[in-house]
A and B are shown apart, each in its own frame.
Chain A
Amino acid sequence: MHFIPLNNYILLSAIIFSIGVIGVLVRRNAIVIFMSVELMLNAVNLLLTAFSVYLGDASGQVFVFFIMALAAAEVAIGLAIIVMIYRNTNSIDINVLNRLKW
């Protein structure tokens, strides 16, 4: 049985987190932006689990459980807001909402 160095888990989580950041910045579809946020949350979850196993402490996995509950709430609210935006503007392109900038 071989064991994985902790650095590899950190690198994997960092790569997936950066992919999520790039997805939020590049895409204009609001739902794809939400999916990129989910990707970032999952990268953090994986890192918390790896550190929890590394340190032999169960608290990290309990934190992942809380993050999952938070992600469920966030997705429900976010998709409701997207539905409302779609009803008002007939599109989910976030550039339609550029009046929010001021």
Chain B
Amino acid sequence: MNTFYFIAFLSVFFSILVITAKSPVHSILYLILTFFTFTIHYILLNAQFLAIVNFIVYMGAILVLFLYTLMLMNLNKESEQPKSNLVKIAAVIGGGCFLVTIIAATRALGLSDPVVLKDPNLGLVKNLGKTLFNEYLLPFEVSSVLLLSAMVGAVLLATKDPKPTV
């Protein structure tokens, strides 16, 4: 029980550091720590497959992509002029309105049931694979097309064309 609250505190703490860090590289490093706390949340929920995928895809692939982009473009300078205080206050109010709405809604709902894992096999690869390939076969195939088109699009966007075609 105390593990959840400790990890939740760490998640919130590191995600606040992500958006307040001056240097973009520090933001990325804090984001890695945030994703690591999310992996621990998945393990606490016994979602083992998601924990592994979160670890590999988010902390391995996506954040390395961020770091490489920053380093290849040599953007590690703190040249960002901060926005005016009025915009910052408006942004905090705008984000806070959503939070207050959710808190009020959960308060109005009263005490909720605890999250109990009824079936210990729920988050395992075997169970998820059966659901994925029985009920969600078509979305699975469509997502492969999505990944292929994203790869082609990224290569097409990021390459300089040597001679512009007319």
Chain A interface (Cβ within 8 Å of chain B)?
A: 2-12, 14-23, 25-29, 31-32, 34-36, 38-39, 42, 45-46, 49-50, 52-54, 56, 58-59, 61-62, 64-66, 68-77, 79-84, 86-87, 91-93
Contact = CB atoms under 8 A, between A and B. Distances in A.
Contacts of A25: 87, 90-91, 94-95
A31 B70 contact: yes
Given A42-B58, A68-B58, A29 B102 contact: no
B143 A18 contact: no
Contacts of A38: 31, 58, 62
A58 B143 contact: no
A29 B80 contact: yes
Interface of B: 1, 4-5, 8, 11-12, 15-16, 18-19, 24, 27-28, 31, 34-35, 38, 41-42, 45-47, 49-50, 53-54, 57-58, 61-62, 65-66, 69-70, 73, 75, 79-83, 87-88, 90-92, 94-96, 98-99, 102-103, 106, 109, 111-119, 122-123, 127-128, 130-132, 135-136, 139, 143, 146-147, 149-151, 153-155, 157-158, 160
A27 B49 CA distance: 34
Contact of B83 (A28, A68, A70, A82): A28
Contacts, number: 235
B136 A5 contact: no
Contacts of A79: 65-66, 69, 154
In order of increasing CB-CB distance, the 3 nearest A-B pairs are A25-B91, A2-B1, A3-B114
Contacts of A28: 80-83
What is the interface of chain B mostly: helix, strand, loop, or mixed?
helix
A31 to B, nearest CB: 5
B31 A39 contact: yes
Given A32-B19, A69-B146, A76-B65, 6 more contacts: A3-B114, A3-B115, A58-B127, A83-B157, A84-B158, A93-B81
A46 B51 CA distance: 11
A61 B115 contact: no
Contacts of B31: 35, 38-39
